[in-house]
Amino acid sequence: MKKRKLTMSMSGVSNRGALVIGCSLLVIGYSAFLHAVEPLPLSTSYWKDSSFQKSFNGSYRIEARIEPNVSTEERGLLVEVQGLMEKGDRKTALSKVKGSKLTVKSAALKFNLGNLLFEEGEMEEAIKAYEEALVMYPSFRRAHRNLAMAQVREGELKDALEHLIEAMRLGDADGATYGLLGYCRLQRGEWASALQAYRMAQLSQPETAEWKAGVAQCLQSLNARDEAVAMLDEVIRQRPEEASYASLQASILIELGRQEEAVKALELPRRLGRLDGEGLLLLADLHLRGQRSEDARLVVDEAFALEEKPGTDRVASVIASAMMIEEWELARVLVEKASPEEGEVPRVLRLAGARLKIESKSAPEEGAEELAALLKEDPTDGAALMALGRFEGNAGDSGKAELLFERATAVTDYAADAWVEVARLRVDQQRYGAALEAVERALEIRPGGELEAYRDALTNLVNASR
C-alpha cells in the first residue's frame, strides 16, 4: 500500500513535470527571439540631426596645432570652397577641389574632398579621400574621425572603431566620436564599454536620441531593464515615428513580464502605420498570450499585407503561441502565408507545419513522417528530435521515444528538456533510479526551479522502494 501511494504521488509530480516541459518547449521560439534581439542599426535620422551636422561642419575648420600645414595657395582654394559652401553650391565646390592640382599632394585638400563627397553620399570615394589624407599626414585627427563616420555609414565597423580610438588618442572629445564609439562597441556585444562611451557622448549631446537608445540597449543587456524602459520613454517621445524604438522597448517589457505594457508600447507605431511586419507579429504574439485571438488575427493580416513580409523565425514564434492555446486554424494560416508559392519552404516552417499536424491531430502520422524527413536531412535538429520523441511516446513506443530524447540531449539548447523527458518516460516504466539519474543530468544544465522538487520526489521514491 505504501509503495502504491508513493507511485501515485510520483505520477502527480510526473504530470507536473510534463506540464513544465511542454510549456518550455512551446515557448522556445518566443524566448529565443528575446535573447537574440540584435542591436539596432544607427538611425538614418542621425545623419540629419543637428548635433551631427554641427560636429561634421565643424570639421571644415582648420586646426593648426594638430593639422597639416596649409600653404597660401591651398588656403585660398579652401576660402573659395567655403564661400561656395555657404551659398549651398556643394557641387561646384566639389568640382573645384577635385579638379585642382593642389589636391593631389595636400592632406588638407584631400580631407576636404572627403567631406564634400561624404555630403554628396559618395561614401566609397569619401573613404578613399580620407585614407589618402592620412597617408600624407598620419596624425590628422579630423581625418581619422570623419573616415570612421564614413565607415560606419558603410557598415565597416571594425575599421571605424580603430579610427575612432585613434582620433580620441589624438585629443578628440566630441560627442559624435564618443557616440559612434559606443555604437561600434554595442555591435560587438561589449555592453559595459559601449555604455561608458554613450554616456560620455551624452555629456555634450544630451538630446541625441541615438545615444539614449544605445544606453537603453546596453542597460537591457546588463540587466538594468527598468532603467532601459525609462530611457526609451524619452527616445519615443522624441522619435514617435521610428517604430524600432517601440519594438525594442516592447521586447524589454516582455523580459520584465509586463506584457500588457508591451502591447501599449506597440500600439502607437501601429496606429501611425510605422510598425513593420516583425513588430506587428510581435504584437500578434502578445495578443495570443493575452487570450485575444481575434485581435491577433487582425494584426497577422496587417503584417502579411505589407510589401516586406515578416521573417520566418518571428512567424514560427507566433505559430508556437497559437498552438499553445489551440488556435489551430490561425497556426495553419500563418504557415500558409509565410510559405513561398514557389521554391523550398524554410526549414523552421516545415517543422512548425509538422508539429501542427501532430498536435492538432489533423494528420499526426503525416506530421511524424515530415519530422523524420527533417531528421534525415539533419540528425542534430533538437526541435525535430523533441517533437518526434513526444509523438512516439504518446503513441506508446517508449523505447523509440527514449532513443530520440537521448539523441536530443547532445544538442545544447535542448539538452535539459530532453533529459527531463527521458526521466518522465522512465518514471512511467517505474524505472525510478534511472529516472533520477536523468533528472540529475538535467539539473547540471539548468539548476533550480521545478526540477528541484521533481528530483526530491524521485529521491524519496527510490529510497522508499529499497
On the question of pLDDT at 394 being above 50, the answer is: yes
- 248 burial level (CB within 10 Å; 0-12, 13-18, 19+): buried
Mean per-residue pLDDT, 223-235: 96
On the question of pLDDT at 1 being above 90, the answer is: no
Give the pLDDT of residue 6.
31
Query: Which range, of 62-66, 113-117, 245-249, averages the lowest pLDDT?
Result: 62-66
Give the pLDDT of residue 45.
65
Distance CA 288, CA 319 (A): 10
CATH number of 1-36+379-466: 1.25.40.10
Distance CA 279, CA 440 (A): 40
Distance CA 254, CA 233 (A): 15
In tens, the pLDDT along 156-177 reads 999 999 999 999 999 999 999 9
Distance CA 268, CA 440 (A): 47
Centroid of chain to Cα 341: 28
In tens, the pLDDT along 273-303 reads 999 999 999 999 999 999 999 999 999 999 9
Distances (CA, A) of 386 to 172, 335, 342, 419: 55, 20, 29, 11
In tens, the pLDDT along 403-460 reads 999 999 999 999 999 999 999 999 999 999 999 999 999 999 999 888 888 888 889 8
CA angle at 103 for the pair 50 and 107, rounded to the nearest 5°:
65
Q: Please, where in the chain does CATH 1.25.40.10 lie? A: 1-36+379-466, 76-172
CATH-assigned architecture of domain 76-172: Alpha Horseshoe (1.25)
Give the pLDDT of residue 70.
83
On the question of pLDDT at 42 being above 80, the answer is: no
Residue 454 contacts by C-beta under 8 Å, 6 or more apart in sequence? 13, 16, 17, 420, 423, 439
Mean per-residue pLDDT, 127-153: 95
Average model confidence (pLDDT) across the chain: 86
On the question of pLDDT at 13 being above 50, the answer is: no
- Are the CB atoms for 455 and 440 separated by under 8 Å? yes
On the question of pLDDT at 77 being above 90, the answer is: no
Split at pLDDT 50, 70, 90, the class of 79 is confident
Give the pLDDT of residue 52.
55
Residue with cell 539614449: 212
Which sign does the torsion angle of CA 259, 261, 263, 269 carry? negative
- Percent residues over pLDDT 90 in the chain: 69
Split at pLDDT 50, 70, 90, the class of 82 is confident
Mean per-residue pLDDT, 60-76: 71
Cβ-defined contacts of 179-183 (< 8 Å, 24+)? 179/205, 179/208, 179/210, 179/211, 179/214, 180/42, 180/148, 180/149, 180/152, 182/211, 182/214, 182/218, 183/42, 183/152, 183/157, 183/210, 183/214
Q: Which amino acid is at 434?
A: A
Distance CA 301, CA 176 (A): 41
On the question of pLDDT at 249 being above 80, the answer is: yes
Please give the helix or strand (H or E) that residue 250 lies within, else none: helix 243-255
Give the pLDDT of residue 61.
53
User: Which has the higher per-residue pLDDT, 193 or 36?
Assistant: 193
- Are the CB atoms for 279 and 291 separated by under 8 Å? no
Please give the helix or strand (H or E) that residue 453 lies within, else none: helix 450-464
Q: What torsion, rounded to 10 degrees, do the Cα atoms 172, 175, 181, 184 define?
A: -150
On the question of pLDDT at 9 being above 50, the answer is: no
Split at pLDDT 50, 70, 90, the class of 182 is very high
Give the pLDDT of residue 29.
36
Give the pLDDT of residue 63.
54
DSSP notation for 19-78: HHHHHHHHTHHHHHHHHTPPPPPPPGGGGGSHHHHHHHHHTTS--TTTS----HHHHHHH
DSSP notation for 118-152: HHTT-HHHHHHHHHHHHHH-TT-HHHHHHHHHHHH
Give the pLDDT of residue 138.
93
Give the pLDDT of residue 204.
92
